[in-house]
């Protein structure tokens, strides 16, 4: 089914209009609950978005990153431990991000230099992170909690104020990172070269781009975003728990695919998943439906599969993704 | 093989050139990988102030020190053989089944259901219960295969998501008001679990050794035969090597993809079923979250050869069986086994590193290109 771009644009904008209208109607109907769902949507979407952005950069540069889950978990653990022992939140964040970047560097080494199967490399990261964080886990520690920041002037807005302009710091970071990654990928020299490396590394190499170096740097930088995603989980839970990522790193990959490897697409995808999670929480909170809690627990995962089955069908990943670069 | 920090039957990691018998060559990288994994594990044990020799000594004693210990190792290895076979079988068809965990849960809970609901003569009851567990899990695999072949959903994501779905679903089945729940009469403290299976469904021990393990060896042999000696196996391997060429040659890639995932999930489901019928006797949620991942390590250690899956599973099974004694004797957390597995997985998947460490740079191994990208 090929659609005229004009028709496509009309459909897209009607969907956007319908969503906005839906929110407004829901707000008129029940302001409190709608606001609660909206703000929960944003906070559930933020870590998925950060993780998806990590995936976007990696794949746009030609490296699959199945290890986002492990990078998130590792960052959350290192961040928690550092913040807990030092008492400084900033130090915790720095340590967590650094931890994720070490695993990013490892992925670069495995995928680029060792030319290892990239999905296996990511699996190594996941198994290692789960084992490592449980091995060194210490029970009963606490950490300082994240502050909540309000944007003066904007936080009073109906619906939007509570959900977008009154959040803890890392939630804002997710929004900012989306714009930064978009500008970086599509408006700068670094980004255009990255895209070239991901689509046709041979050609990029021929015009003098250092493919190997580019992949190393990008995968490592991208891992910092997965690190922030893991720290965002810490921000919500305010403590570390074994296996606390619960598959969110993999949902982030689904968000990336649904968002067609584009930062704004990823934001839309993350919003959709965040909304499902928020709605689930609200319905469960209200006792609205007589459904066992285990079925509520399935919702994010079933949604992931359903959305991919419906929307992922014509998704085309960057051409060179998954293949090690062989210089000719 | 589970020697202390250096495996005794591995070539010493020094010297410019080691002459290894021809028959040893395929096993060289896995053996060195195991030794390196244990070495890195030893460093981590040192990092928490414990003695790795004590820890590994306890593992060896706990895994092989007595007839009981050997039986326990075989019991632990049994579901691992199935988990490894599931991953290896899917790899042969170019698919990565990372959902062994969920399929094992489904297999385990449905085998338990068949085991406590029916009471047929043992010779029928056991195969029937195994089949129920395997088939229930294979439905999950068929769904994954269909999603992959028809809807383009990458199996890594769908299988991971289904792990969480299966965990929730089985928890619901056996919660105190669920359809498979153990009734209050036999369950005074209201645990989430199924009733005990009927004795006709129990897989017996023969001479202290679990029969289930021998069954797993038979299944491994059947898998090998199916893959290497039949037309279907040839077609599966062709699709695994190159889907486009396979389609060009007239193979129905869509159907074969669904079939491979179905069989793979069936194998994982059998693993759960054997565990229920042979060891636990009932299903309880919250079993080892690493079973599914262990299957990946085992399949790669075996270089996706179904027959080699058996010794690989025995090794990991021995590590797991020995942990309880290690915990009793030392302060080393049991997760060390998972970490050692991660290291072994890395080294078997990166033979370049292993060959570099044992200085056999000339001998480039054929790289295992196992998985396909999102577009697949």
Residues of B in contact with A250 (CB under 8 A): 156-157, 160-161
Of A131, A251, A322, which has the smallest distance from its Cβ to B342's Cβ? A131
Rounded-to-5 percentages of helix, strand, coil across chain B: 70, 0, 30
- Interface probe for B, chosen from A73, A138, A280, A305 (most Cβ of B below 10 Å), is A305
Predicted pLDDT at B215: 94
Give the pLDDT confidence score for residue B371 in this predicted structure: 60
**Which chain A residue has the Cα nearest residue B369?**
A117
- How many degrees, rounded to 5, is the angle at CA A282 between CA A279 and CA A286? 140
Contact at 8 Å (CB) between A321 and A63? yes
A contact test, residue of B144, B288, B373, B376 with most A CBs within 10 A: B373
The mean pLDDT of B198-226, rounded to a whole number, is: 92
Predicted pLDDT of residue A287: 72
Q: Is the pLDDT of residue B333 over 60?
A: yes
Mean pLDDT of chain B: 86
Provide long-range contacts, Cβ within 8 A and 24+ apart, for B181-186: B182/B282
CA distance B171 to chain A (A): 7
> How close does chain B come to A305, measured CA to CA in Å?
6
Residues of A in contact with B33 (CB under 8 A): none
From the CA atom positions of chain A, what is the Rg in Å?
A: 20
B160 touching A (Cβ < 8 Å):
yes
Determine, yes or no, domain membership for A285: yes
Chain A touched by B353 (CB under 8 Å): yes
Q: Per the CB < 8 Å rule, is B342 touching A119?
A: no
Nearest to B342 among A127, A243, A301 (CB): A127
CA distance A76 to chain B (A): 18
Number of domain units in chain A: 1
Q: What is the pLDDT of residue B8?
A: 44
Query: What's the rounded Cα separation, in Å, for the pair B172 and B232?
Result: 38
Whether chain A has a CB inside 8 Å of the CB on B151: the answer is yes
**Measured between CB atoms, does B181 come within 8 Å of chain A?**
no
Give the model's pLDDT for residue A150. Answer: 84
Cβ–Cβ gap B335/A135 under 8 Å: yes
Compute the nearest-CA separation of B235 from chain A (Å).
23
End-to-end CA distance of chain B: 38
The pLDDT of residue A151? 82
Residue B363's pLDDT band (boundaries 50, 70, 90)? low
Among chain B residues, CA nearest to A132: B339
State whether B162 and A292 contact (CB < 8 Å). no
Tokens matching residue B99:
């959902």
Give the one of B158, B168, B371 whose C-beta lies nearest to A119's C-beta. B371
d(CA B115, CA B340): 35
Q: What is the domain-level CATH number for residue A181?
A: 1.10.3470
Q: How far is CA A22 from CA A18, A281, B364, in A?
A: 6, 19, 60
Which chain B residue is nearest to residue A107, measuring alpha carbons?
B346
Distance from CA of A309 to the nearest CA of B (A): 5
Say whether residue B344 is in contact with chain A using an 8 A CB cutoff: no
Residue numbers in A near B178 (CB within 8 A): 292
Nearest Cα neighbor of A197 from A52, A1, A59, A74 is A59
**CB proximity B356 to A under 8 Å:** no
Distance separating alpha carbons of residues B129 and B8, to the nearest angstrom: 42
pLDDT tens-digit map of B49-93: 999 999 999 999 999 999 999 999 999 999 999 999 999 999 999
Regions in chain A scoring below 50 on pLDDT: 1
Contact indicator for A52, A272 with CB cutoff of 8 Å: no
Q: Report the pLDDT value the prediction gives residue B373, as an integer from 0 to 100.
A: 55
* Interface contact flag, A119 B156, Cβ < 8 Å: yes
Domain assignment present for residue A233? The answer is yes
Q: Please state, in angstroms and as integers, the Cα–Cα distance from residue B105 to each residue in A62, B77, B141, B211, B349, following that order.
A: 35, 17, 13, 21, 27
Cβ contact, residue pair A298, B168, below 8 Å: yes
Say which of B96, B157, B300 has its CB closest to residue A253: B157
Query: What is the value of ipTM here, to two decimals?
Result: 0.87
> What pLDDT, on a 0 to 100 scale, did the predictor assign at position A158?
78
- What number of other Cβ atoms are within 10 A of residue B157's Cβ? 27
Question: CA of A86, closest CA in chain B: separation in Å?
Answer: 20
Each residue's pLDDT tens digit, B14-29:
444 445 555 566 788 8
Q: Is B338 on the interface with A (CB under 8 A)?
A: yes
Q: Which of B89, B95, B100, B69 is nearest to B271 (CA)?
A: B100
For range B149-161, the mean pLDDT = 88
pLDDT 10s digits, B283-329:
988 755 556 678 988 998 898 999 999 999 999 999 999 998 999 99
CB B345 within 8 A of CB B36: no
Distance, CA of A52 to CA of A30 (rounded, Å)? 32
Dist CA B267 CA B103 (whole Å): 9
Q: Model pTM?
A: 0.87
**Measured between beta carbons, which residues in chain A are less than 8 angstroms from residue B171?**
294
Tokens representing residue B154 in the block: 């990458």
Q: Tell me which chain A residues have a C-beta less than 8 angstroms from the C-beta of B373.
A: 64, 317, 321-322
- A131–B338 CB contact, under 8 Å: yes
Q: Does B319 touch chain A (CB under 8 A)?
A: no
**Enclosing domain of residue A91:** 34-314
* CB pair distance less than 8 Å for A309 and B151: yes
**Strand locations in B185-258, DSSP E?**
205-206, 209-210
């Amino acid at each position: 089914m090929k659609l005229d771009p004009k028709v496509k644009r009309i459909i897209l904008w009607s969907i956007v209009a319908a969503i906005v209208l839906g929110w407004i109607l829901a707000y008129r109907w029940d302001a409190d609950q709608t606001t609660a769902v909206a703000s929960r949507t944003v906070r559930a979407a933020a870590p998925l978005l950060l993780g998806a952005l990590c995936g976007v950069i990696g794949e746009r540069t030609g490296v699959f990153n199945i290890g986002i889950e492990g990078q998130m978990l590792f960052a959350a653990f290192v961040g928690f431990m550092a913040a807990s022992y030092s008492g400084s939140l900033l130090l915790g964040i720095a340590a967590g991000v650094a931890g994720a970047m070490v695993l990013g560097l490892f992925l670069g080494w495995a995928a680029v230099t060792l030319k290892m199967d990239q999905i296996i490399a990511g699996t190594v990261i996941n198994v290692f992170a789960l084992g490592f964080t449980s091995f060194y886990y210490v029970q009963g520690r606490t950490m300082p909690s994240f502050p909540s920041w309000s944007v003066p002037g904007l936080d009073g807005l109906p619906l939007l104020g509570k959900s977008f302009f009154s959040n803890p710091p890392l939630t804002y970071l997710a929004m900012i990172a989306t714009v930064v990654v978009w500008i970086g990928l599509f408006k700068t020299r670094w980004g255009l070269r990255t895209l070239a490396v991901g689509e046709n590394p041979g050609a990029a190499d021929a015009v003098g781009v250092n493919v190997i170096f580019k992949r190393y740097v990008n995968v490592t930088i991208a891992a910092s975003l997965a690190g922030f995603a893991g720290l965002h989980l810490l921000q919500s839970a305010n403590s570390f728990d074994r296996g606390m990522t619960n598959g969110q790193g993999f949902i982030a990959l689904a968000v990336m695919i649904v968002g067609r490897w584009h930062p704004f697409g990823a934001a839309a995808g993350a919003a959709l998943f965040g909304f499902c999670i928020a709605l689930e929480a609200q319905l469960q909170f209200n006792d609205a439906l007589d459904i066992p809690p285990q079925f509520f627990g399935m919702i994010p995962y079933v949604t992931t599969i359903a959305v991919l089955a419906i929307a992922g069908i014509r998704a085309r990943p960057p051409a060179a993704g998954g293949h090690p670069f062989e210089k000719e | 093989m589970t020697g202390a920090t250096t495996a005794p039957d591995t070539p010493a990691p020094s010297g410019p050139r080691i002459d290894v018998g021809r028959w040893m060559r395929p096993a060289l990288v896995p053996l060195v990988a195991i030794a390196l994994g244990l070495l890195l594990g030893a460093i981590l044990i040192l990092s928490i102030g414990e003695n790795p020799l004590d820890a590994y000594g306890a593992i060896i004693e706990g895994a092989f020190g007595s007839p009981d210990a050997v039986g326990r190792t075989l019991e632990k290895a049994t579901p691992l053989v199935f988990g490894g076979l599931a991953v290896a079988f899917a790899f042969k068809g170019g698919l990565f089944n990372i959902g062994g965990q969920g399929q094992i849960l489904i297999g385990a809970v449905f085998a338990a259901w068949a085991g406590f609901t029916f009471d047929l003569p043992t010779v029928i009851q056991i195969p029937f219960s195994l089949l129920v567990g395997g088939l229930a899990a294979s439905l999950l695999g068929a769904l994954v295969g269909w999603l992959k072949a028809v809807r383009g959903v990458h199996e890594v994501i769908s299988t991971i998501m289904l792990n969480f779905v299966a965990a929730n679903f089985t928890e619901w089945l056996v919660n105190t008001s669920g359809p498979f729940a153990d009734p209050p009469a036999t369950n005074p403290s209201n645990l989430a679990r199924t009733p005990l299976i009927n004795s006709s469904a129990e897989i017996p021990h023969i001479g202290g050794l679990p029969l289930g393990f021998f069954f797993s060896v038979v299944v491994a042999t059947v898998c090998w035969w199916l893959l290497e000696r039949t037309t279907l196996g040839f077609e599966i391997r062709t699709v695994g090597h190159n889907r486009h060429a396979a389609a060009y040659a007239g193979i129905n890639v869509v159907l074969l993809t669904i079939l491979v995932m179905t069989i793979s999930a069936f194998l994982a489901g059998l693993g759960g079923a054997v565990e229920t019928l042979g060891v636990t006797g009932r299903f309880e949620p919250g079993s080892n979250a690493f079973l599914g991942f262990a299957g990946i390590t085992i399949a790669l250690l075996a270089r996706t050869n179904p027959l080699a899956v058996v010794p690989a599973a025995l090794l990991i099974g021995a590590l797991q069986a020995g942990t309880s004694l290690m915990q009793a004797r030392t302060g080393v957390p049991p997760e060390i086994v998972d970490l050692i597995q991660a290291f072994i997985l890395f080294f078997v998947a990166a033979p370049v590193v292993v060959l570099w460490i044992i200085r056999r740079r000339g001998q480039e191994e054929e790289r295992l290109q196992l998985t396909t990208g999102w577009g697949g």
